[in-house]
Each structure stands twice: as structure tokens, then as C-alpha cells.
Structure 1
Amino acid sequence: MMNRRNIRIKVMQVLYMVETETQGTPAGLLQKEFDKTRNLFVFLVHLLHQVALYAEVEAGQRASKNLPNASDLTVNTKLAGNSIVWQTMESDSFKKAMEIVKPQQWIQDDIVKSIFRSLSETPTYLSYINEQSRDKA
């Protein structure tokens, strides 16, 4: 989850905080910094999950239009069924981290919607959707 560079930066930040302020032990301050990093990581992964799952919501909304056209009825939801998305969502360690961090309190539906809409317009996403295979790449 964290590479050596990030750990070094966190240690240097804690050493600076210890020198400027004497609130708590260095180990406690370092643990707080690691917790902040974990919280951010869990939040971002959960946001990615929500954006991927929004593909099904978008498909349902487009299919339920009053006058849907052929493209509205055949929306590809390949992103929502991505194996990596489901493996991380079903991972016990990620579920445990979700219980600790509770990132769903910070995610708003309109943000997920706007991120998905901007993602769906990118050429990389369009090439991923048009590909017939279900590879992890």
C-alpha cells in the first residue's frame, strides 16, 4: 500500500512535528500519519468502485427513457463487472478497512455521476468498452 518513499516522507514529517511541537510521542504521530494515508487509499478505492458500479445505474436510466434509441438499449456495463473491481470489493481485508474508515460518508452521488460521465467520454474507456474480451487490463 505504501512504498519506501512515502514512508520516508511521513517519517520526516513526524520528525519535523516532534521538533516544532511536543504533542504526543513520535511513534503515535507516525501512526496517525499512516492512518491518514490508509484512509485516503480506502476512500479512493471505494470511489473507484462506486464509479464502476455507476455503469449499471447509467444503463438502467438510459434504457428507461421515454423514447430510447438503439444505443440506449445496448449500453455496455463491462466496467461494473470488472474482475479486479469485484475481487477488491469482496476482499476481507478491504471490507475490514471499510468498516474502520467508513468512506461512504464522504462520497456524494453527483460526484460519482460526474466522474463516470467524464470517464465515459475518454478514448481509453471507449476502447476498453468496445473490446470483446474480459481481460484484466
Structure 2
Amino acid sequence: MLNRRHIRVKVMQSLYANLGGESEDFSKDQKFLMQSIYSMYDLYILLISIFIEVRNKGIDQIGKQKQKHLATKEDKNPNTKFVNNEILKFMGDNELILEKIKQQETIDWDLDSEYIDIIFKAIVSSNAYKSYMKTRMSNFQQDKEFITTVFREVIAPNDKLYDYIEDKNLTWLDDLPTINTTILKLLQKLRPNPTKTYLLPELYRDEDDLKFATDLFTKTLLNQNELNEEIKHKTINWDSERLASIDLVLIQMAICELKHFPSIPVKVTINEYLEIAKEYSTPKSSNFINGILDKLVKEYEADGKLNKVGRGLL
């Protein structure tokens, strides 16, 4: 779920929040980083819970239709295709997913039911729903395609849901594209009779990613003054007050990677931070950062300081 670029963004945000100098007590700072990273999974579970809640909303609506005093023939025999959708049933009947939702203190749809109402109405009024409900029967593939379309075209871009997520946790806005992409990929690859853990992926690909996050954070934080000196000597009339704080943090992290992470290719490091700068800093930041890193790499190569291991890492 969590890729290296997003790890770098999380480290950048944590360093930016703690900008101000070196420290040897990382416990509080590292806790902030870990909370920021693990909160991504909370967002993932929240979005998965929406599928379950809109299905429950559909079940509740069908029950109310049948109980009408002057129920029509259609009310008495409603189309249950939506609530019987195989993917929605898999989520709603999955005790592992339900337990994860129960454990999340940030999820309280009884309190925030208006958002489920909004999303349910948006689904029902969508062209995808109207087309899907023209028949009463469907197969697994049709059910999957419908749910995938609903998430991509109705749930993910919903403005009210976006506002709700922003109010819940501001850092979730940066996580949302990654989480949405993860959910879409999982839905697209879903096959009949999946394991109960299929929609509960690991946050990290492996332990190396977790170590990369903590090492990048602590090594950058520990060496901030030294890193700033290197930046100063490669910048004409360098003035820390005039340099965008985000740019400073990104350059610090990039230098740290170049010097202390021998298995990461130089081109990967530079390209990653240039892309992050384009998204999070000023329009000119990527060129500025590229210029500094280019000077430093040439100097490291000349002095034999680029201790990269493996082929094609320079």
C-alpha cells in the first residue's frame, strides 16, 4: 500500500513540523512520524467501511418499502440486486473487516450518518446504478465492475466526503490519492471466493520500507546542521530566511540519501525529490533543488564519496 515516495513525503512532513535544529532525542519526533504513517491505514478502513454502510442503507430502505401502509407491488418485491452485490456482501459479511472497523475510533457512522446518506443518494442517482439495476441478476464480474465504477466515479471524487476527510485528519488529504489507488487496484484484481484478508493489505511492502522511513527521518534530523553547511557552500548568497522551508527539508533529505543509503541509485534519489518538490513546493523549486544536487553529486563523485553498491547505482 505504502510506496517509497509516500514514505519520503511522510518523512518530509514530519521534518518540516520539527524544523529547527539537531536533536538526539528522537522518541517524540519519531512517534509523530509513525502516527502519521499508520493513520493512512485508518483512512483505508474508513473508505472500506463506506461500502458496508451504503449497503446497510440499501437494506434499511428495502425494509421500509416493504412496511409501507400502501405498499405497491414494486415495494413488496423490490430489486435487491444492489444489496446482494457479491463484493458488497463479501465486505459486509467479513468479520475481519468488521473487527478492523470496530477498532477504529475515528469511524462513527451513527454520528456522521448524513455523509452516508449523501453518498448513497449519489450512487442511486448515478448512471452506473441505473444501468446496473435494469436487471435483477448479475454475475461476479458484473458486480465487480459496478462497484469499481461506483468507487471511481461516485465515492472517490465526492466533494462532501473530501470535506469530511479533511475535517477528520488534515494529513489524510495527502494520503487520499494513494489510498484511492490501492482500493481501485484491489477491486480490479478481485476474484471469486477471495480470502478474508484480501481487502486487508499490509501497510508496508516489507520491513525494509519501515526501516527506510525511520532511518531517513533520524539520519536527516541528526545531521541537519552538517547538511545545511553543505547546502550553504553550493548556493550563491545562500540565506536560510529566503529559502523555502520545504525546499530546505527536501534538499536535506536528498543529501542524506546520497550519503547514507548506498543501495538507492543516485538518479532515483534525485528524481524522487524533484517530483515531490513539484507537488509540494513552489514552481521554481524543482529546478533550484536539481541545481544544488547536481553540484553535490559531481563533487561527491570527484572525491569518491558516493559509496553506492550494486550495478547502475550512480
**What interval of TM-score do these two structures reach, taking the shorter chain for normalisation?**
0.7 to 0.9
Whether 1:66 aligns to 2:54 is no
Whether 1:121 aligns to 2:132 is no
Which runs of no fewer than 5 residues in structure 1 stay unpaired? none
Q: Is the 8 A contact 1:42 1:98 kept in 2?
A: yes
Give CA-to-partner distance per residue, 1:50-106, whole Å, 9 cap, x none.
1122111111111211222233233222222222233334153x3453243145424
Partner secondary structure for residue 130 of structure 1: coil
How many pairs align? 136
Partner secondary structure for residue 105 of structure 1: coil
Q: Is the 8 A contact 2:54 2:116 kept in 1?
A: yes
Relative to structure 1, the CA distance from residue 67 to residue 114 in structure 2 (aligned partners, 3 Å threshold; closer, same or farther) is farther
Q: From 34, 50, 63, give the equivalent of 1:31.
A: 34
Aligned to 2:249: none
Q: Is the 8 A contact 2:109 2:116 kept in 1?
A: no
CA distance in 1, matches of 2:3, 2:18: 23
Task: Give the counterpart letter for 2:45 in structure 1.
Answer: V
Q: From 16, 39, 44, give the equivalent of 1:41.
A: 44
Q: Is the 8 A contact 1:53 1:79 kept in 2?
A: no
Higher helix share: 1
Relative to structure 1, the CA distance from residue 11 to residue 98 in structure 2 (aligned partners, 3 Å threshold; closer, same or farther) is same
Give CA-to-partner distance per residue, 1:2-50, whole Å, 9 cap, x none.
3444333222211212325978544322211122221122112112211
Task: Give the counterpart letter for 1:124 in structure 2.
Answer: A
CA distance in 2, matches of 1:8, 1:67: 60
Task: Give the counterpart letter for 2:11 in structure 1.
Answer: V
Aligned to 1:7: 7
Aligned to 1:18: 18
Q: Name the Cα RMSD after superposition.
A: 2.7
CA distance in 1, matches of 2:41, 2:31: 15
Give the TM-score normalised by the residue count of structure 2.
0.38
Higher RCO (CA-CA < 8 Å; seq separation 6+): 1
% of aligned pairs identical?
Answer: 24
Q: Is the 8 A contact 1:42 1:103 kept in 2?
A: no
Q: Is the 8 A contact 2:58 2:83 kept in 1?
A: yes
Give the TM-score normalised by the residue count of structure 1.
0.77
CA distance in 1, matches of 2:86, 2:20: 47
CA distance in 1, matches of 2:89, 2:105: 18
